[in-house]
Amino acid sequence: DLVMTQSPRSLSVSPGEPASISCRSSQSLLSSNGYNYLDWYLQKPGQSPQLLIYLASNRASGVPDRFSGSGRGTDFTLKISRVEAEDVGVYYCMQALHMYTFGQGTQLEIK
């Protein structure tokens, strides 16, 4: 079975500081078309998940440019250049190459 592993599981960041979340897949997410089928979602407290990044590095509509995604193959990273209070929540990576599998989530809190 394909496993998505996120690290860290939680992080505490001061406003204005950067944050980085890693996601590792047990199988390559590189499609034959050259794209990496990896998405990032944010679930704010008490809300439904929302799409942040698709195809590893493409911001979804309306997502602030402080969010960026990178990586290929099995290793991916979500970066927030300057954390804001509204970024609090649980971040999930999701692979979309072999059906769909989510990571365990990374809880982001503000210091």
Partner 1 sequence: QITLKESGPTMVKPTQTLTLTCTFSGFSLTTTGVGVGWIRQPPGKTLEWLALIFWDNDEWYSPSLKSRLTITKDTSKNEVVLTMTNTDPLDTATYYCAHSTWAITSEYFFDHWGQGTLVTVSS
Binding site for partner 1 (CB under 8 A): 31, 33, 35, 37, 39, 41, 48-51, 54-55, 58, 60-61, 92, 94, 96-97, 99-105
Total Cβ atoms within 10 A of residue 53: 23
Q: How far apart are CA 30 and CA 43, in angstroms?
A: 25
Residue 55 has phi, psi (to 5 degrees) of 50, 40
Nearer to partner 1, 8 or 18 (CB): 8
Residue 47 has phi, psi (to 5 degrees) of -120, 170
Distance of closest approach, residue 93 Cβ to partner 1, in angstroms:
10
Nearer to partner 1, 20 or 107 (CB): 107
Distance of closest approach, residue 64 Cβ to partner 1, in angstroms:
16
Nearer to partner 1, 14 or 64 (CB): 64
Distance of closest approach, residue 34 Cβ to partner 1, in angstroms:
9
For residue 103, give the nearest of 23, 46, 43 by alpha carbon.
23
Alpha helix positions (H), the chain: none
